[in-house]
Each structure stands twice: as C-alpha cells, then as structure tokens.
Amino acid sequence: MAYYMTSILTAIVTFLLPLASALGSKSYNGLAKTPQMGWAYGCEIDAAILLETAQKIVDFGLRDLGYNYVILDDCWSNMQRSDDGSLVANATKFPDGIKAVADEIHSMGLLFGMYSSAGLYTCAQYLGSLGHEEQDAQTFADWGVDYLKYDNCYNQGQEGNSLITFDRYNTMSEALNKTGRPIFYSMCNWGRDYPWNWAQTMANSWRISGDVYDSFDRPDDRCPCTTYDCPLPGFHCSIMNIIGKVAPIVDKGQPGGWNDLDALEVGNGGMSDDEYKAHFSMWAMVKSPLIMGTNIPKMTASTYSILANPAVIAVSQDSAGTPAYRVWKRAAEVDEYDQGEQSLWVMSLSGGDYAMAMLNAGNASMEMKATLEDIFIDKATTGGGATRGPLPSSSGWDIYDLWANRMDDVTANSILQGNATVNGTMMDTSNSTMVYNATEMAYSDGIGMSHPALLGVKISSVQPMGTISATVPRHGIAMYRLRKQEGASMKKRDEL
C-alpha cells in the first residue's frame, strides 16, 4: 500500500512541477536560493586539516566572498557502528569527535558539511546510510551538520527508474527535515535516472554526471558518455564533457535546487591558466555549485585570483537564479585529443543586465563574434517576441569585461602570505576593483550600486543590432556583463 501511495504522490509532484516553475521556483527547505559555495576534499583529511583550511578560508577573504561550507568528504568514520547503531567518527582522525570540529568551524562564521552514501557502503567502502536514514540524519543534526553530500555507491540495485531513485533519496530528505535543523541536501547520484526532472522537491542540488577530473577536454573511456542520457556515468569526465552534458538541461536548475557539475578543479595542476578561467567561468554561468577542491593553505596566487574573482562570483550568485544557455555551438580547430568547438552562452541577470560567455574550446586563439540578435534570440522567438515591445537587440549595450580586474599576483601573494587582509581592516573593500566582501554587502546590493569589483571594466559599447567580437585564447573564454544604455535604441521605421 505504501508503494502505491508513494507512486501517487510522485505522480502528483511530477504533474505540479511545471506549474511550480510557472508560478516561481521555491526551495523545498528554504535553502539554496543561490548555488552553494564552499570547499571539500577527499579521503586524506582529519580534524587538523579541516580546521586549518577553515581558518585559511576566513583569512584569505574567501568566506566573505560566499565560500561558506566546509565539507568533510568520505573516509571519516569507523568501519562499524556503535552498539546503538549510530555512526562513529574515526578517533585517530577526529580525537575530539565531529561535533567539536563543527563547533569550531561555526565559531569562524562558517558552515559544516558531512558525507554519506545512499547505499550500504560509501564509495571508499565505509559505512553508508541506506536503511539507517533517520538515525544518521539525527546524528548529523546532533553534531551540528549544515550540509550533507549523499553519494550513490553500493545502492543494492535500487535504481533503474526515476521512482525507485526518488524514493531512496527522498527517505534521507524526509529524515533530514524531521530533525528540525536546516541541512543543505546535496544529492550525488551522478545523473542516474534523470534527477533534474524530479529532485527539485526534495534536494538542493543534484549531480548531473560522473566525477570530474583535472582535464579540460581529454576523453577517457572511464567516462564513456557524452550526453546527459547516460547509463554509465563513470568518472574521469573532463570539463568540456560535463559542459556538453549540462547544455540541454540548464533550465532544470532553479533557486532552491541546482544542477551540480561537480567540484572545481581550479588549482590542482592539470590545466592551464586559461583553461581554469574557462572552467570557473562556465560553472558560474550555468549556476553549478562553486565548491573548491584544491589545497587551500598551499594554493598559488594565480589559483587564488581565479577563485576570488568577485565579478564572476556575482554572476553565479545573481538573485534572478537563471542559468546560462548555449545559443550556438560551432566547429573549431581540433587539438591533440581530436576535440575542438566554440560556443556562445547567455544568461539574464537581475536588474536588466545580461551575462555572456564566448568559449573557445579549439586548439588555437581565435576571433569570436556574437551579434545582439544571437545574444537575445530568446527574446525574439518566445513570449510574443517583438509584439511585446522593442527587442533588446534594438538597444545599445555597454560591455564590461569580468576578468579585466583580475587580482594581480603581487596583491594575491600578499594576502596568501598574511601581509594583507580583505576584511576591511588592512584592505578597504568599499570601492576596490579587485576584492569584495559579500558579508558586509550582498552581491545584489553591490551590483545595484555598480561596485567596480562586481561590474568589471567597461571595455566598449555595442550599437543597436551590432556585433560583439573578441580574440579568445586557446581553451579560453571571454566573459562579459552587458548593461543597457539609456536612450540608445533604434527608432521604429514608418511602414510603407
């Protein structure tokens, strides 16, 4: 009987989802109004590393840019539960227990995340939470957990259609809500059974692919799929592989629930600076979570200046909550992996601004062009188009380069070495072109005031029906904010 009731409920939820989108998206638990930001790392971690990293996130001003979650990943527990069935932290790695770590992280003004799996075991073969959802959820709440990454390993075959997977993950969702503690729920089922179609009512984000790895576009047989419709998600999926998978489903992300392209690889050494800039920019454009996956205490100035670019982060955290979509994809010179393409991505922002990215995944620097008709194609082809009034393409637009104010290495090294701070004490953020404090002023307020660190550098303007062009480096990106010019529009012609 319970199965049939669940089936009916799921059918109702599926029916109501389009209506909910039409009425305006809403978080099921009040969290994730914008994509989550933070840091997570793999198995080689303990309490000391977590706390050292958390302190550096504060010291480097990353917390005040929005990187709030410090997430403990796999390998943290004992191999057996306690006599009462509870999960137990490894006493060598966490001698004072998990709650003591969570309390310390909270004292820094940060939030604390944990990891488990919707299976008998985690991916590293520690104990999972399948069949123990209520008990484990309460344990996490008692420890002061604010975020749960919930994986998909050793799931006992409980997948294969959307209902089976929904039920398995919804059990933990309901258990977390039952605790009464707000806990961000990050599903990590690798896109199995199309979570973007049903997870909005029970999770705050959902992985759409197998695991990312530190390569821009190298194919790997262990990541065999190139589309979202994937029976074997695998791992070692490149940046361009995952971007290709998300392109058809970007609209499924919305405030309260986001497509998750996996953690950021910026700073891990496998890509060039231009590739890391493109990676970070595209994760921001499509509204993927921005979860740093590098060694924070040891990161370089160039890594820091990418991760700490407030103009790009402001696009990610824009309150409109609208992911970018791909307008077109075209051929480009192929590289050593026989890969090569160029593409244009566009998103609407709050306050009437737009963001655009010209992504050159080809093997050579190239001039890329985008007409205003390209950029505003949706306005011309949906919702009545020109019958609703002048199209945006008939206006002039100012162009702001979102990477032009990238922090220089001298300033970045000064921050990393502790010779400068970005909390307003030693470095004024009120009118800086390179640093920003979102704790003191929300991104929406900063954009409303045209804060230079968020707006970028005005490099030119484009006239009505004009074309934007840029020379984009190999495996690189040009990312711009567009702001409508006052009074610069085409006058309507008299009809003959």
The residues near 157 (Cβ < 8 Å, ≥ 6 apart) are none
Catalytic residue among 59, 64, 146, 211: 211
Q: Are 158 and 164 in contact (CB under 8 A)?
A: yes
Amino acid letter, 478 = A
DSSP result, 55-104 = HHHHHTT-GGGT--EEE--SS-B-SS--TTS---B-TTT-TT-HHHHHHH
* Continuous segment of H or E residues that includes residue 372: helix 372-375
Closest by Cα among 109, 90, 158 to 130: 158
Q: How far apart are CA 354 and CA 402, in angstroms?
A: 12
Query: Is residue 211 annotated as a catalytic residue, yes or no?
Result: yes
Q: Are 97 and 142 in contact (CB under 8 A)?
A: no
> What b/e sequence results for 327-360 when a residue is b if at least 16 CB atoms lie within 10 Å of its CB, and e otherwise?
beeeebeebeeebbbbbbbbbbbeeebbbbbbbb
Catalytic residue among 64, 74, 151, 318: 151
In the chain, helix, strand, coil percent, each to 5?
A: 35, 20, 45
* Continuous segment of H or E residues that includes residue 357: strand 354-360
For β-strands 111-117 and 69-71, DSSP reports them as parallel
The residues near 452 (Cβ < 8 Å, ≥ 6 apart) are 405, 431, 432, 433
Helix/strand/coil for 129: coil
DSSP result, 213-263 = -S-SS---TTS--SSS--S---S-B-HHHHHHHHGGGGGG-BTTBEEE---
Residue 293, φ and ψ in degrees, nearest 5: -125, 30
The residues near 495 (Cβ < 8 Å, ≥ 6 apart) are none
Which residues are part of the catalytic machinery?
A: 151, 211
